[in-house]
Amino acid sequence: MSLTIPALAGKLAGLQSSAIRDLLKLTAREDIISLAGGLPDAALMPRERIARAAETALCDPAVLQYTESSGWPALREVIAARESAAIGRSVPVGEVFITHGSQQALSLLAEVLLDPGALVIVEDPAYVGALQVFRAAGARIVAVPLDSDGMRLDILEDLLAAGERPALVHTVSNFHNPGGVTLAPERRRRLAELAEAHGFWVIEDDPYGELWFDRPAPAPVASYSPQVIRLSSVSKILSPALRVGWMIAPERVSRAVELLKQGADLCGSSLTQQITTDLLTDTTWLAAHVDAIRTTYGTRARALTTALRTTFADRLHCTDPTGGMFIWAEFTDTTDTTALLPAALDAGVAYVPGGAFAVTNTADNSLRLCFTTSDEATLTAAVDRLSSAIG
C-alpha cells in the first residue's frame, strides 16, 4: 500500500525558521563574543529575590492550581495600577489580560483581529517575532520604514491616502528591536488619530519601555486612544523565564482573547504570576533593581557606540540608544553584513545581519548589535574583532 503523507495547513507555506534562532546556535561557541543574542543579562536577574518570593508563594496551595485564563487576579490588579499610571487614565482590571510573555499576546491578537489576507502594517526593520505571527495568520504585510524618530508616519499616511485599509499597525514604540529608535511624542499622537480616523487597531508592543537610560520614555501611544492595544512584560526587568506578559485592551477584545487562550493553554502559571505580583508590589526594591539594570545597560550602550565611532568613524552610522538593548548600525560603503558574517565569526564576534529583520528594504549593509550581556572591555574587544574581520 502506498503511503499518503498528510499535509500541513496551507497558511504555513510562507513560514521560515527565524534566522536569528538559527544563528544563535552558532554563537554558543565560547570563543565568540556574541552581540547577536538579544537576551537580557542573566547576571542582573534577581534570582535570590525570586527564590524568596517562590518560597512565600508556595505556602498558598492555590499557586499550584489552575487559575483564570485572563490571569491571576492579584497580578491583574497590580498591572491595572501600573498601567493606569503609565497611560494616564484609570485602567479597569477587565482590560488587563495576562499572557505567557507578550509574545503570546501577539499571537492571540493576530487570531482575534485578523482574517486571512488582512493588511498588517509593520515597521521596517521589524521585530521578527511579530512578523512570524502575522505571516502565520495569513496576513498581507506592508512595511513602513523607521527613521531616528521611529515609524515614518508620512509614509503610513501616503499608504492610507492611496486607499490601503490596514486591520492593524504594529509598532515597537520604545527602544526598538532591532532599530534602537523611539517613536517621537508627536508621532504617537498622530498614529492614534489615524487609527481612529481610518478604523484600524494599533498594537503598541512595549517590552523595553522601562529600560530608559537618562529620562523616562514618552507617554505611551495607548495614552492617546483606546484603539491602541498595549503589550508589555516582565521579561526584560525581572526574567523571561517567568513568562509573564500582559495586554491592555478593550473588554470585547480581551473576551475574544480569553476564548482562544482557553484553547491554547487554559491559563498561565499561577506560581510565576504570584511571584511576579510579589516582586512588582515590593516597590522600593523594584525601583532600585530596575535602576541598576538601567545604569549597567546605559554604560554598556555608551561603550559600544564609542568603540564603533572611534573604530569606524564615517564608515558606519549607528543609533544613539536612549534605552533598551540594541544598536542598529549601517555601513555607509558597500559592506554586505550577511557576506561578512563568516569572517566575523572566524574573528570571534557575532551580530545579526540587518537582512534578518528586513521586510521591504534589504538592509544589506546593516546590523543589529545587542550590548546587554558583555561588559565594556568585552564590547570594545568585539568592535576590534569586527574591524579585523572587515580588514
Q: How many CB atoms lie within 10 A of CB 47?
A: 10
User: Would you give the binding string for ligand PMP spanning residues 196-215, x where CB under 6 A is met?
Assistant: ---------x-x--------
Shortest Cβ 111–ligand PMP spacing (Å): 16
- Tell me if 233 contacts ligand PMP by CB under 6 A: yes
Task: Let me know: does 221 contact 244? Beta carbons within 8 Å.
Answer: no
As given in the structure block, the three cell numbers for residue 317 are 552610522
Q: Which amino acid is at 388?
A: S
- Tell me if 348 contacts ligand PMP by CB under 6 A: no
Backbone torsion region of residue 117, taken as left when φ is above 0, otherwise alpha when ψ lies between -120 and 50, otherwise beta: left
Q: Which residue's Cβ lies closest to ligand PMP?
A: 101
C-beta of 180 vs 348, nearer to ligand PMP? 180
Stretch that binds ligand PMP, among 70-78, 96-104, 135-143, 268-276 (CB under 6 A): 96-104
Stretch that binds ligand PMP, among 87-95, 101-109, 144-152, 295-303 (CB under 6 A): 101-109
- Tell me if 322 contacts ligand PMP by CB under 6 A: no
- Tell me if 235 contacts ligand PMP by CB under 6 A: yes
Stretch that binds ligand PMP, among 134-142, 217-225, 233-241, 263-271 (CB under 6 A): 233-241
- Which of 108, 118, 143, 172 contacts ligand PMP by CB under 6 A? 172
Q: How far is residue 86's CA from residue 231's CA, in Å, rounded to a whole number?
A: 12
The CA–CA distances, whole Å, from 355 to 24, 150, 228, 339, 358 equal 15, 19, 29, 11, 5
Residue whose cell numbers read 502565520: 136
Task: Let me know: does 277 contact 74? Beta carbons within 8 Å.
Answer: yes
List the Cα angle 146/254/172 in 5-degree steps. Answer: 15
List contacts with ligand PMP (CB under 6 A): 38, 101-103, 127, 129, 172, 177, 205, 207, 233, 235, 240, 245
